[in-house]
Amino acid sequence: MAGRPAAGRERGRGPGPSSKTVVAPVALARPAAGPAAVEPPAAGAGRAQQSYPDLGVPPGVEMGMAGADRALQAWHARLTGGLSPVSLSLAWFDWAAHLAGMPWRQMELLARAWRSAMALPGYALPGAGPGAAACSPHPEDPRFTAPGWSRWPFNVISQAFLSAEQWWQEATTGVPGVSRHHERVVSFVARQLLAVVSPTNFPWSNPEVLEATAAQRGANLVRGARLFAEDWQRLLSGAGPAGAEAFTPGRTVAITPGKVVYRNHLIELIQYQPTTQTVHAEPVLIVSAWIMKYYILDLSPHNSLVKYLVDHGHTVFIVSWCNPTAEERDLGMEDYRRLGFLAALDAISAIIPGRRVHAVGYCLGGTMFAITAAAMARDGDERLRSLTLFTTETDFTEPGELGLFLDESQVAYLQNLMWDQGYLDSRQMAVAFQMLRPYELIWSRAVREYLLGERQLPNDLMAWNADGTRLPYRMHSEHLHGLFLHNDLFEGRYLADGRPVTLSDIRAPIFMVATVGDHVAPWRSVYKLNLIVDTELTFLLTSGGHNAGIVSEPGHPHRSYQVTTRPADAPYTPPDVWAAATPVQEGSWWPAWEGWLADRSGGRVEPPPMGAPDRGYPAVADAPGSYVHEH
């Protein structure tokens, strides 16, 4: 693995069913004593009480027929990209069987198809303009906005396709008796298949491609073929997308000065160099999801949230996760909580004694920080001054389009794939996310680069997005079962240190950020934390998506947000009522959040030292550290 340090990353496989191996000691010792000290647990500690299915022994261990079945399903999963054919078949049968028993609904659909077919000749008559369109694309669908699509025969082609889209949307939805999940899956598959055969994807039916080909005498197609060959070679070699090499952590991104002040086999903790004469008394600890590398919050200097906080007088720490291999297959959710979140808090408590911490979690990192905060409140640990959650779900009953890939059949299928590999690869995860937005992430790029021959080089956010990490088998299995399938956290069944945690125990003030266009953590799902916590809660809804809405520096064009603070014990306001009543403010949300942090901080003090060598936390490397370079 590239970039793995020679020392300070001692590894120990967590225990399987018959192993009692403990995690090897880390290179940097924790404080020997003190209320904040947490000893490194055995890998998997605290898991025995969780009500998850048996995860089985690793491949290669004597496993019998059950293991052979799992190996076969893992092989099948590789062929299907991790999608369960059984899950898809069940959804299709549910829809088809119910529709088959509804002859009048079938007649309505046939009549709709006939009316659409009869409307096309009229649209094709000379002089028929856009006003004659029988079907209009979705306002967010830019595929047919070019002027060429209003001319014959492309106007007829586009109308025929849009009519087919609308017909299939009507056919796959609203069938009585079909479960909501199966309806969404069937409708989703229909959209995916239609996206494949969209007339924009073929050179002979796309007027923009035809015009470019005529004007350039086919040079665009030659360039496109070369770009396709280059991308295919990069895919086979495991290299990133073309142009991503221009954004290297420590050179062009993740360049905010700082030091690695703690390292264990799972995390590196970075403390950033202050840039102000005095700082706010309470430090800020940021933990992103381990599905991503931390530097999304420290991209280029102009859009680095870390730099923004440091320049506004905050002492910032951030966790950089390792990129697990098959050796870490048995690390679980509890290991991530203890070796990641609690270990980072312990280090900060040693470096800046007696100061409470502003905790910040992003995506799954926010979910685990909410779990950690609830467990700390349960145990009387008052080290948190506040809790900020970026695009974080705590209730998983409505996970948006990501829920299309989450049912018992699909999770079992994916679990067998991870069991065989030891992890879920970032490229396998990327396929699911790309399918949520196929035009933006797949087909528009293919048309632009391979048919028009125009390479669009990535920006810093796009390059970061291609720099993913793997997820250990046990951790991701527990995550999918305990949170997504069983909703254990929101319903009070999630165990930390072997005891249930409840989010209502959290008393620190909470600041939540959700984004309007989030396909991963829909804002109404994020908003549900209001249902269960009684503490002061500030909810902010910003424009943008799951990542772009967070990387929203001051001066970023077309940004706006809504924000209100609900006092402790105030009555609940439904999300749509809240959105209608809350005024929209133009600009970046960063100043509003930074002001919120400052208002909940003590006075200004001298900057703390970088690390605490006398307490076992020396500065061992410059930021961004070594784990961020692992691939």
- DSSP string for 321-344: E----GGGTT--HHHHIIIIIIHH
pLDDT over 60 (residue 302): yes
CB 560 within 8 A of CB 526: no
State mean pLDDT over 505-510. 97
* Residue 7 structure tokens: 């020392």
Give the pLDDT band (50/70/90) at residue 58. low
Phi, psi of 153 (to 5 degrees): -95, 5
Q: Look at residue 117 in the predicted model and tell me its pLDDT.
A: 85
- Through-space distance between the first and last CA atoms of the chain, rounded to whole angstroms: 6
pLDDT over 70 (residue 426): yes
Cα→Cα distances 492→318, 334, 337, 569, Å: 29, 16, 17, 20
The strand pairing partners of 539, in sequence order, are: 512, 564
Q: Give the 3-state secondary structure of residue 223.
A: helix
Angstrom distance (rounded) from CA 150 to CA 128: 9
Rg of the chain over all Cα atoms, to the nearest angstrom: 26
Angstrom distance (rounded) from CA 502 to CA 488: 10
> Mind listing the pLDDT tens digit for each residue in 349-378?
999 999 999 999 999 999 999 999 999 999
**What average pLDDT is seen over the chain?**
87
| Least confident window among 35-39, 92-96, 536-540, 590-594 | 35-39
CB 613 within 8 A of CB 31: no
> Mind listing the pLDDT tens digit for each residue in 176-205?
999 999 999 999 999 999 999 999 999 999
> Mind listing the pLDDT tens digit for each residue in 387-423?
999 999 999 998 877 788 888 888 888 888 888 889 9
State mean pLDDT over 74-89. 83
> Mind listing the pLDDT tens digit for each residue in 41-55?
444 444 434 555 556
Q: Look at residue 17 in the predicted model and tell me its pLDDT.
A: 30
The strand pairing partners of 285, in sequence order, are: 317, 359
Cα→Cα distances 12→1, 16, 154, 600, 629, Å: 16, 12, 62, 40, 21
* Residue 295 structure tokens: 């530097």
Phi, psi of 488 (to 5 degrees): -60, -35
The DSSP secondary structure of 568-585, one letter per residue, reads TTPPP--HHHHHHHSPPE
Taken in order 371, 377, 379, 385, is the CA torsion positive or negative? positive
The one-letter amino acid at 169: Q
CB 415 within 8 A of CB 484: no
* Residue 446 structure tokens: 């293919």
The one-letter amino acid at 288: S
Q: Look at residue 282 in the predicted model and tell me its pLDDT.
A: 97
The winner for highest mean pLDDT among 137-141, 148-152, 438-442, 556-560 is 556-560
Q: Give the 3-state secondary structure of residue 292.
A: coil
Per the model's pLDDT, the better-predicted residue between 631 and 475 turns out to be: 475
Angstrom distance (rounded) from CA 551 to CA 305: 7
Q: Look at residue 54 in the predicted model and tell me its pLDDT.
A: 57
Residue from 6, 2, 1 nearest 620 by CA? 6
Q: Look at residue 53 in the predicted model and tell me its pLDDT.
A: 55
State mean pLDDT over 605-626. 96
pLDDT over 90 (residue 60): no
CB 314 within 8 A of CB 5: no
pLDDT over 90 (residue 78): no
Q: Give the 3-state secondary structure of residue 90.
A: helix
Catalytic annotation, residues: 363
- Tell me whether strands 284-287 and 471-472 are parallel, antiparallel or unpaired: unpaired
* Residue 573 structure tokens: 């306001």
Q: What is the pTM for the complete model shown?
A: 0.86
Q: Look at residue 70 in the predicted model and tell me its pLDDT.
A: 79
10 Å CB burial of residue 507 (0-12, 13-18, 19+) is middle
* Residue 479 structure tokens: 């995550």
State mean pLDDT over 597-616. 95
Angstrom distance (rounded) from CA 410 to CA 78: 13
Q: Look at residue 631 in the predicted model and tell me its pLDDT.
A: 85
> Mind listing the pLDDT tens digit for each residue in 509-556?
999 999 999 988 999 999 999 999 999 999 999 999 999 999 999 999
Give the rounded percent of residues in the chain with a pLDDT score beyond 90: 68
**What stretches of 466-611 show up as alpha helix (H) in DSSP?**
473-479, 523-526, 575-581, 590-599
CB 419 within 8 A of CB 74: yes
Give the pLDDT band (50/70/90) at residue 150. confident
Phi, psi of 580 (to 5 degrees): -70, -30
pLDDT over 80 (residue 152): yes
The one-letter amino acid at 541: L
Give the rounded percent of residues in the chain with a pLDDT score beyond 70: 87
Q: Look at residue 43 in the predicted model and tell me its pLDDT.
A: 41
pLDDT over 90 (residue 139): no
Q: Which helix (H) or strand (E) holds 500?
A: strand 499-500
Within 8 A by CB and 6+ apart from 211, the residues are: 148
- Tell me whether strands 384-390 and 357-362 are parallel, antiparallel or unpaired: parallel
Whether residue 257 has a cis bond before it, omega within 30° of 0: no
pLDDT over 80 (residue 306): yes
* Residue 462 structure tokens: 């796009």
> Mind listing the pLDDT tens digit for each residue in 236-261?
887 778 888 899 999 999 999 999 99
